[in-house]
Amino acid sequence: MAVVSTPATLEQAPPVLDNAEVLRIRNDFPVLDQLVNGRPLVYLDSGATSQNPLSVIEAEQEFYEQRNAAVHRGAHHLAVEATEVFEDARQAVADFIGADYAETIWTSNATEGLNLVSYTLSTAALWAAQGRGDAALKELALRPGDEIVVTEMEHHANLIPWQELAFRAGATLRYIPIDDAGSLRMEEAAGIIGPRTRVLAFTHASNVLGTINPVRELVALARAAGALVVLDACQSAPHMPLNVKDLDVDFAVFSGHKMLAPTGIGVLYGKQELLDVLPPFLTGGSMITTVTMERAEYLPAPQRFEAGTQRISQAVALAAAVNYLTETGLDRIHRWEAELGERMVSGLESLPGIRVLGPAAGEERIGLAAFDVEGVHAHDVGQFLDSRGIAVRVGHHCAQPLHRRLGLTATTRASAYLYNTTDDVDRFLDAVSGVRAYFGA
């Protein structure tokens, strides 16, 4: 029997993460090596804020020790070096999401990025009315009668800015509803996204449900309507491969603190042709070409949207974070977290009095699970778990309309990352199994 060899040119799929490798990864995260209430810490709140590996901490520290200076503003040695590492960081993050260098804008977080897009779209109408900009800018201006479409599962950061844009522009805000399982009603989406739709904004993956939305189907509906697409990638960029060009979205946002980087740094991706015609968001130094006492002219992107002193050390640290994720392998991370998520959901569903939101066990989701414990408030559940060294999130997770739709005011959410093991999940499930008895529910 002939043996068929695999051609050397074919890439082999990298091995899936396992507990042994994850335990080695954990050594890079000093904060995880501690006791909480006398128990080893189980950190299951990465959906809110992830922890930082030593390489990220050291990258930011090294900047302050060796290169601290203002970027783009000095000819001296430190300023040149600071500018180089700052812009190298931009290129690293652009490569990470499949974007071009000039399409990658630094923000404080994803929320600022979404506000930037919504605000500049309303300013576009003002500029156009005063004869500023060109025909491309006029096409972006929203007017009374236009529609903005979001979904019923959005985080407040991807809902409120669009409410305010609709108010400023006299537009109408509409939303795609979800079903009881937490999936978008795509059969209704086709009737909601139509000729009046100017913007479609939606989350790639829900921070409550764990649902991964059908991006390509939604983009196709938006393209047929001639609408802009804004993607909230906060729960996808840290956990799975993301290529904004391949997805053909017009804008995308994510936050560094959810992907191993410090707080205070986020990213807005925007197509170059859109960024270069939109009015600026914040104004001041470093984003202008010419200034008189009457008016100013602005640089193209990315500097067009980066007024004032930037988040230099945080950007350098974010580049270190994306390098760490790339070296580990986003596909491997995604598959490991899917395994942990399945373990969480199936375990929770087996417990009496527990209602898990989102896709059922066996269905695709990201590595998180939000749940309701019958007869026990989410805050009490969170404190009970904390007493056993387990960190989770409680509340409405900045998604009040979604919780209201599901008949809840708050839930408990456990969210895993590349440094969590199956033992972490099992300790969590064992603790949850004792909640109702402890509270006499």
The three-state (H, E, C) secondary structure of 200-227, written as one string:
EEEECECCCCCCECCHHHHHHHHHHHCC
> Which residue carries 């001639």 as its tokens?
226
Cα 422 from Cα 58, distance rounded (Å):
29
Q: Residue 4: count other Cβ atoms within 10 Å of its Cβ.
A: 6
Helical pair 378-386 and 422-432, crossing angle rounded to 10 deg: 120
Strands of the sheet containing 411-415, edge to edge, are: 354-356, 368-373, 411-415, 393-395
Q: Which residues contact 77 (CB under 8 A, 6 or more apart)?
A: none
Cα 234 from Cα 48, distance rounded (Å):
10
Alpha helices of 68-159 — where are they, by DSSP H? Answer: 77-97, 110-129, 135-140
Fill in the amino acid letter for 78. Answer: L
- 301 and 103 in contact (C-beta within 8 Å)? yes
- 357 and 209 in contact (C-beta within 8 Å)? yes
Rg (CA), the chain: 23
Fill in the amino acid letter for 84. Answer: E
Q: Which residues contact 3 (CB under 8 A, 6 or more apart)?
A: none
Examine the residue annotation and report whether 234 is marked as an active-site residue of this protein.
Answer: no
Name the active-site residue from 395, 398, 422, 439.
398
Q: Which long-range contacts (CB under 8 A, 24 or more apart) does 403-410 make?
A: 403/208, 405/152, 405/177, 405/178, 406/180, 406/182, 406/357, 408/372, 410/377, 410/378, 410/379
Q: Which long-range contacts (CB under 8 A, 24 or more apart) does 342-345 make?
A: 343/422, 343/425, 343/426, 343/429, 344/368, 344/369, 344/414, 344/416, 344/425, 344/428, 344/429, 345/369
Q: Is the four-CA dihedral 382, 388, 389, 390 of positive or negative sign?
A: negative
- 352 and 372 in contact (C-beta within 8 Å)? no
* Phi, psi dihedrals of residue 109, rounded to the nearest 5°: -175, 180
Comparing CA positions, the residue from 239, 413, 235, 323 lying closest to residue 53 is 323
Catalytic residues: 398
